[in-house]
Structure 1
């Protein structure tokens, strides 16, 4: 597969429209319909096992236990198998900064530096320049699979998916009419979300959103202090919850000395500090390290090394929780080309800043050598800063379609920041041809996903894969 380079800045609007329409010849919109895994493609379990080789072995049963819960949780953890599958599908040749894992649970609310709640993509572990279609298909497939998990009818599911993809198409065409600065500044804060979808949000859903926003605002550093810490002999410490949360003292009882880990993480923070802007360094320097812990996060990320760092400023009512998360190669790199950055943490940070309108003020990266003498990349951010996500299981078809449309608008805006919205808008066109084709794709891919989930549960039952449920 060959991807075209980004457009020349001197290219006229007419030329960009022509280029987008010309791409239909090589990849007709109808060519996105349907999915059959190509013969010879790697088995999904083999791909997942390949990732296991660089992860913490003791945590892998938790990963597979979480993935085995349902076809939807399996899908969330199977970004690499889907990237492999997507690499054999049609692409227009138009390139964007792709999220790489744009399923619906990787969107949510968080605080802007101006202390407003904004809605955006919130996971960039797999971000890389690549085909915009891959993100659209992963988002659309996640909605199909979540709808099936919720027990929707085939007609209702089709409505959710088509409505979502139509919103992406229409938003991309609308962004193509805006100036470059307008696109760069576009964002969705909570008030704008309410106004944009007011006619679609009924009383019950409005009340639930208000409750969810209040809950997200409670997910701050003080909230994290209450949840994750206790006071022992007058000193604040992170509470153990093995194997999910293992503070330094717990690690000292296992296989790595606490002093050694503390020294290494102190070095990580010093190196990370250098990647921040000068004014952010001044703010970080107002805090001192109090405690650290290893924390299991997510579904697909389980087994990667992830640390939570408790820092205090003026007193124990002035906490700052940082998360240092291991970063490896993007799942897209094997299929879309290597990253421009030799540090995978920097790849994540740069991709996040390109796709998000506002980002965490403490976002940075670092390269370190671990206790096992292996070099690793990390990116750092605040553990919690008004973060919140949707309760998809509680949504009816109308709610999920509305939420999918919001995710689609957000994805289109992120793509328009780095890709050619005019050419992509011309490619998808004004009819629903592209929408219907993607709906056909998601139906077939959801079928395949169910088979892959069944293969995982079978492997767990036979003992070929070890899994731990309930964590």
Structure 2
């Protein structure tokens, strides 16, 4: 559903929730005009979908238009107007109590209608601003989540982690990737533009117990092996076990020899399954990739499509942004980027699952050759608060800022990663910057046999082990973490079984949640948000 399909009452309801000034008898057209204004469209930096950054629970916050919004712990209405509901602070308190050893029930213990209402409220809260603005991509995201249980799992990380609030507080802390699943590993460039294989999504990265990544990763493999691989329960369990076993075995290696800093997977040292992926990813070449997917007929900029909307009129604006990015990040511009001249700019729509509806731009940088064969693409992707924030047990390891947090994760977990990777603020939004490499690719899960599913799961577990082991290299940990992880795992077979059993329960919970979500979605539950009226 888009704004034109929304009723006048729906638009009025959500505009008021955003605190927008409206005439009492505003027409639908007038409300649409207000919702389309920059102050209504722009999300403040540091805010998740609920509009609160949670950094100072006692302080009022202002949105991009300068209006005062309700504090996370303020559930009352003001001036007779309802306020957007938020459970962020309630879950922060729940997580703290759980981490301190109090026997506090978690949402995963809810059943029946109580659980369905929790799922509905959490998803509404996680997408409040996108729903309130009747963002077309947000409603497209809900359609996507309804169509596939694996998509639902991928797009509802906050729901998954609220079920874990405060868990495993006695376990060693690492820099957790935050959203581990089979499709968040792939081929990408390192600082020298050489293809490497590793974790390719750090949007949810956060310092947390090492088990959190394992539980989400094992659950992701179970669900994907069901929906994409069409494997039965016995085989799916073996696939999930391979993932956890790969992690456990590799952490033991790093605890013994400290080789994690030199363990990146490249074409020359990768197992055949990943070596084949390298070959597929690098088979075409930059010029062919640009021509096939991006160039207009004259190769002067982006071609217009459903997913790419050229905004060439803003080229000067983005040239200033690029220049500022180079200066602020002290980027050593590689020769292949020429003079960092902006050739064209486009809005990127419909990309990702969790990030659908967030602001994303592609910037075409003119390469050193005049034949339009070597241009670069830089992506500016709106960053938001991690789903783990406020839910993990307390840790002294904190990275401020949204895009800065993501950049920290990439720099710690990928040795010599993408040279363009960084962050910048523009128009009040925190953007992650990275290169869209022509050889960026991930594995086609549809093509995997059961044996290859197990092999791929094990490789991903090993890659995650390296990422965690690097937490004490360039990360914030000040001690060798691998021996602590090995000690905390205890009996390997028992540890693997514990993680997989948790994942199996989470898998079944996701199945029930998805059924309830689909029913709610069909009834229009995600066309409006929850408000506090008293």
1:225-273 CA distance string (max 9 Å, x none):
21333445x452212222x22211xxxxxxxxx64x4444333322221
Aligned to 2:171, the other structure's residue is in SS state coil
Judged with a 3 Å threshold, the aligned counterparts in structure 2 of structure 1 residues 340 and 146 are, in CA distance, closer, same or farther, namely same
Judged with a 3 Å threshold, the aligned counterparts in structure 2 of structure 1 residues 128 and 437 are, in CA distance, closer, same or farther, namely same
In structure 2, the partner of 1:327 is 383
* Deviation of 1:298 (Å): 0.7
Q: What is the rounded CA distance, in whole Å, between the counterparts of 1:351 and 1:188 in structure 2?
A: 18
Aligned to 1:365, the other structure's residue is in SS state strand
In structure 2, the partner of 1:425 is 486
Write the mapping of 1:367-386 to structure 2, written as runs, cut at 5 A: 367-369=425-427, 375-386=428-439
* Deviation of 1:465 (Å): 3.2
Aligned to 1:465, the other structure's residue is in SS state helix
* Contact map agreement 1:126 1:332 (CA 8 A) in 2: yes
Q: What is the rounded CA distance, in whole Å, between the counterparts of 1:36 and 1:333 in structure 2?
A: 17
Deviates further, 263-272 or 132-141: 263-272
Matched, 1:44 2:100: no
1:295-324 CA distance string (max 9 Å, x none):
132111111111011121232122011101
Matched, 1:77 2:155: yes
Write the mapping of 1:65-464 to structure 2, written as runs, cut at 5 A: 65-149=143-227, 150-179=229-258, 182-194=259-271, 212-218=277-283, 221-231=286-296, 234=298, 236-242=300-306, 244-248=307-311, 259=313, 261-280=314-333, 284=337, 286-296=339-349, 297-313=351-367, 314-315=369-370, 316-336=372-392, 340-369=398-427, 375-419=428-472, 420-464=481-525
* Contact map agreement 2:296 2:303 (CA 8 A) in 1: no
1:149-175 CA distance string (max 9 Å, x none):
122122111211112211111111111
Judged with a 3 Å threshold, the aligned counterparts in structure 2 of structure 1 residues 230 and 93 are, in CA distance, closer, same or farther, namely closer
Q: What is the rounded CA distance, in whole Å, between the counterparts of 1:219 and 1:81 in structure 2?
A: 39
Q: What is the rounded CA distance, in whole Å, between the counterparts of 2:517 and 2:289 in structure 1?
A: 34
* Deviation of 1:421 (Å): 0.5
Q: What is the rounded CA distance, in whole Å, between the counterparts of 2:278 and 2:169 in structure 1?
A: 38
Q: What is the rounded CA distance, in whole Å, between the counterparts of 2:217 and 2:438 in structure 1?
A: 24
Q: Which runs of 5+ in 2 are unaligned?
A: 1-97, 100-105, 473-480, 528-534
* Deviation of 1:129 (Å): 1.1
Q: What is the rounded CA distance, in whole Å, between the counterparts of 1:107 and 1:131 in structure 2?
A: 21
* Contact map agreement 1:36 1:444 (CA 8 A) in 2: no
Aligned to 1:129, the other structure's residue is in SS state strand
Q: Which runs of 5+ in 1 are unaligned?
A: 1-25, 28-34, 199-205, 249-257, 370-374, 467-471
Q: What is the rounded CA distance, in whole Å, between the counterparts of 1:428 and 1:362 in structure 2?
A: 37
Q: What is the rounded CA distance, in whole Å, between the counterparts of 2:183 and 2:317 in structure 1?
A: 33
* Contact map agreement 1:324 1:381 (CA 8 A) in 2: yes
Q: What is the rounded CA distance, in whole Å, between the counterparts of 2:380 and 2:514 in structure 1?
A: 30
* Deviation of 1:282 (Å): 7.0
TM-score of the superposed pair, with normalisation by structure 2: 0.70
* Contact map agreement 1:60 1:302 (CA 8 A) in 2: yes
Aligned to 2:188, the other structure's residue is in SS state strand
Q: What is the rounded CA distance, in whole Å, between the counterparts of 1:54 and 1:365 in structure 2?
A: 22
In structure 1, the partner of 2:71 is none
The higher relative CO (CA closer than 8 Å, separation ≥ 6) is in 1
| 2:128 aligned residue (31, 38, 53) | 53
Q: What is the rounded CA distance, in whole Å, between the counterparts of 2:261 and 2:412 in structure 1?
A: 9
Root-mean-square deviation over aligned CA pairs: 2.7
Judged with a 3 Å threshold, the aligned counterparts in structure 2 of structure 1 residues 416 and 389 are, in CA distance, closer, same or farther, namely same
Q: What is the rounded CA distance, in whole Å, between the counterparts of 1:412 and 1:172 in structure 2?
A: 6
Q: What is the rounded CA distance, in whole Å, between the counterparts of 1:274 and 1:343 in structure 2?
A: 19
In structure 1, the partner of 2:73 is none
Q: What is the rounded CA distance, in whole Å, between the counterparts of 1:107 and 1:220 in structure 2?
A: 21
Judged with a 3 Å threshold, the aligned counterparts in structure 2 of structure 1 residues 265 and 453 are, in CA distance, closer, same or farther, namely farther
* Contact map agreement 1:216 1:387 (CA 8 A) in 2: yes
Q: What is the rounded CA distance, in whole Å, between the counterparts of 1:38 and 1:263 in structure 2?
A: 54
Judged with a 3 Å threshold, the aligned counterparts in structure 2 of structure 1 residues 190 and 43 are, in CA distance, closer, same or farther, namely farther
* Deviation of 1:385 (Å): 4.2
Q: What is the rounded CA distance, in whole Å, between the counterparts of 2:486 and 2:160 in structure 1?
A: 25
Aligned to 1:405, the other structure's residue is in SS state helix
1:23-77 CA distance string (max 9 Å, x none):
xxx99xxxxxxx9703488823322322323447121122112222211111111
Judged with a 3 Å threshold, the aligned counterparts in structure 2 of structure 1 residues 437 and 213 are, in CA distance, closer, same or farther, namely same
* Contact map agreement 1:169 1:429 (CA 8 A) in 2: no
